[in-house]
Amino acid sequence: MKIGVNAMNPQDAFLHINGPVIFFTWKPSENWSVTYVSENIQQLGYCTNDFTAGAINYSDLIHPDDFPKISEEVDLHCQLGTQSFEQEYRIKNKSGEYRWVIDRTLIPMSCGGISQHAYGYVIDITERKVSDMQRNEAKDIYSQLFQRSKAIQLLIDPESRAIIDANVAAQTYYGYSIEELKSLSISDLNILPAEQIQVEIERAKQEERNFFNFQHKLKNGDIRDVAVVSGPFNSNGKEILYSIINDVTAQKSAKRELERSEAMLRSFISTTPDGFITLDQSLNITHCNVAFCQMLSSASKELLGRSIYSLLSSPDASLINTLLKTLQDYKNWSLETALKKENGELIYAQLSGGPIENGSGVFAFITDISIQKRSQMELKKLSLAVEHAGSSIMITNKQGVIEYVNPSFCNITGYLSCELVGQTPSIVSTGHTSEQTHRDLWQTILSGRDWRGETYNRTKSGAFYWSFMSISPISDEDGEITHFVSVSEDITEQKKVQNQLEKLALYDPLTGLANRRLFNDRLNQAAAVCLRSSTSELALIMLDLDKFKLINDTLGHDAGDELLKVIAERLLLCVRKSDTVARIGGDEFTLLLQNVNGRDDAKKIADNILDAVSKPLLIANQKLKVTCSLGVSLFPQDGGDSEDVIKNADLALYQAKKEGRNRYMFFLDAFRDEALAQVALQAE
């Protein structure tokens, strides 16, 4: 508090103060020299003479860091003329230790306005100051721990459920600002009903429990699983709940997923048609499912506790060694064995298992493969029966996987048996068999009927061959198809002969061009298409070589044949792939042009033909230049059917020769009229 001064001696203003107080009188204008100090200066280890003799000034006692502030305060006091002031700072005792003091100072003004003396006292407040500093430091540490903590923390009023404070981590987590959180109630975050929240708060308040699992809603509406550690503490006489929140959504989700997976596994084990057992380290059965009991026609109580040895049809060293090794190396395994029922009946089984994670034993799934095993035995007998057959024989399962091939099949394809078993017949397929043929094949044999047909195949070396194949399904005693047997004969040579015969029937053996029969077939098909389309036109060109007989007679028939081959090649280069070039006999050729645009297109091709044929060529060491004559007719303009078009093209050809050869003529009705007139004249 401030101390007022009247007309009395300023030093007398402090005489009423009792206790360990040190009084000073010093001169602020003369280096703060001390003119009076009380005997209590002994508290600091000094005596009064140290100061009054001028050995120590008052400013010498003040801590260097505090002195500027005090000096500034003294100067300000002198300027403003205030009556008194007080400060807290540190002064040094005789041993050099600094002590905290509170200083109350009076600097009265003289009549001239100049301060001559300062009067005051100091009281040692070191203990209180240290206590306050420690308390402030503790508060600062708490504030840093609370605000800077990565853990989500809330302070909650247990009475009103209001959020008193929240740290930055809570702000980040919930999506609210700290001020927004402080305006909320815990009921705004916790999705439990308010009455249930109050029950839980009371439990935390009474310290009945301090760990809780809740669901909190974030600002964006997300619901998160949280684990809350909460407990009470007293602050200024008021009880507050201090809560640390940890997001456990992922853990909860993982736990729920684990529980769901475990439930599914238990359900799977109990409902799977495969048997399931667990064995302890002595290989005694500790658990078995219903399917395993049904497999062995035994009740679970008859199987539990029994050794796996007692279920084997005969000593199976491989199985026992595998089970024992599993207990040591913790590896999964799979093998086949034979089990026996109580009545002695054998079951062929596939066992697949591994170690139990906690090291308590082994688990195994058991699949009854008796039917497959017996089928394999039967197939083996069948394979022995057909091994020496001359036909190629292949046996596949229902999915088309090869299980057996005989030596004849290997001889034809060039593959070893081990290279074929486990593959599908596509290993010898060329890929040229149509999809429709494949669909028909599978539809036929899956319906239980035999399929017969030709297939085009490839050997291991890449050579192609034809087979006539018969595929028959094999069914089990229940009528279910289990396998297919394919018996095939190599018909490559027969196909070659057949192809040659077909080629002779449809193609000119000298030039390889279509013959008259194939040309007529294509003309009829093209004409039918043309009649169905109002925009499609055909052009037919009849061609004769000019003076071909002279070349034959002069150079010989071999030279004539060579010439025909060259002309055939040149004609093919003049047309498109969709067009047909045919040799119908001697030096006569026909060309069928599809989808032409009237006479313009036909004229261009005719010009090309005249130019191509007339190019010089070397035949029988003789340089020749050959020309040709062409007759052109269009369909449907020049005839109602293919026969009319051929006749009209022939009439146009006759006219071209008549006009001097090495040219082409398009059919005109006048050509037909002239021909008819000549026929009538001859008839007379």
Residue 554 in this model has a pLDDT that exceeds 50: yes
Q: Over the stretch 253-310, which tens digit does the pLDDT of each residue have?
A: 888 887 787 777 777 777 778 888 888 888 898 888 888 888 888 888 888 988 888 8
Distances from the Cα of 578 to the Cαs of 387, 516, 593, in angstroms? 50, 17, 8
The pLDDT value given to residue 183? 92
Rounded mean pLDDT, 410-439: 86
User: How confident is residue 217, by pLDDT bands cut at 50, 70 and 90?
Assistant: very high
Residue 385 in this model has a pLDDT that exceeds 90: no
Three-state SS for 166?
A: strand
Which CATH code, of 3.30.160.100, 3.40.50.300, 3.40.50.2000, 3.30.450.20, is assigned to 274-368?
3.30.450.20
Percent of the chain with pLDDT over 90: 23
The pLDDT value given to residue 592? 94
Outline where 548-641 has alpha helix (H).
548-555, 557-574, 598-613
Is the domain spanning 10-131 CATH 3.90.1300.10? The answer is no
Q: Over the stretch 152-200, which tens digit does the pLDDT of each residue have?
A: 889 989 888 899 899 888 888 999 998 999 999 999 999 889 888 888 8
Distances from the Cα of 79 to the Cαs of 83, 87, 109, 113, 676, in angstroms? 11, 18, 10, 10, 150
**CATH no., domain 389-495:** 3.30.450.20
Complete edge-to-edge strand list for the sheet that includes strand 33-37 = 33-37, 21-27, 118-124, 98-106, 84-92
- How big is the chain by its Cα radius of gyration, in Å? 58
The residue that leads in pLDDT, 77 or 444, is 444
Q: In CATH, what class is 149-252?
A: alpha beta
**CATH no., domain 507-682:** 3.30.70.270
* 46 vs 553: CA distance, rounded Å: 158
Q: Over the stretch 481-525, which tens digit does the pLDDT of each residue have?
A: 999 998 988 888 887 877 777 777 788 889 999 999 999 999 999
The secondary element (H helix, E strand) that includes residue 50 is helix 48-52
Rounded mean pLDDT, 335-363: 85
* 22 vs 47: CA distance, rounded Å: 12
Rounded mean pLDDT, 580-601: 91
Q: How many residues does this entry show for the chain?
A: 684
DSSP 172-239: HHHSS-HHHHHTSBGGGTB-S-HHHHHHHHHHHHTTS--EEEEEEE-TTS-EEEEEEEEEEEEETTEE
The pLDDT value given to residue 454? 85
And the tokens for 220?
A: 């964006």
User: How confident is residue 143, by pLDDT bands cut at 50, 70 and 90?
Assistant: low
The residue that leads in pLDDT, 330 or 161, is 161
Chain position carrying tokens 């929140």: 245
User: How confident is residue 683, by pLDDT bands cut at 50, 70 and 90?
Assistant: low
Decide the pairing of beta strands 617-619 and 580-585: unpaired
The pLDDT value given to residue 7? 40
643 and 608 in contact (C-beta within 8 Å)?
no
Amino acid at 574: C
Which residues make up the CATH 3.30.450.20 domain(s) of the chain?
Answer: 10-131, 149-252, 274-368, 389-495
Outline where 149-193 has alpha helix (H).
168-174, 178-182
How many contiguous H segments (helices) and E segments (strands) does the chain have? 22, 27
Phi-psi region of 292 (alpha: psi -120 to 50; beta: other; left: phi over 0): alpha
Please state, rounded to an integer, the average pLDDT across all residues of the chain. Answer: 84
Q: Over the stretch 616-668, which tens digit does the pLDDT of each residue have?
A: 999 888 898 999 999 999 998 887 788 889 999 999 999 999 999 999 999 99
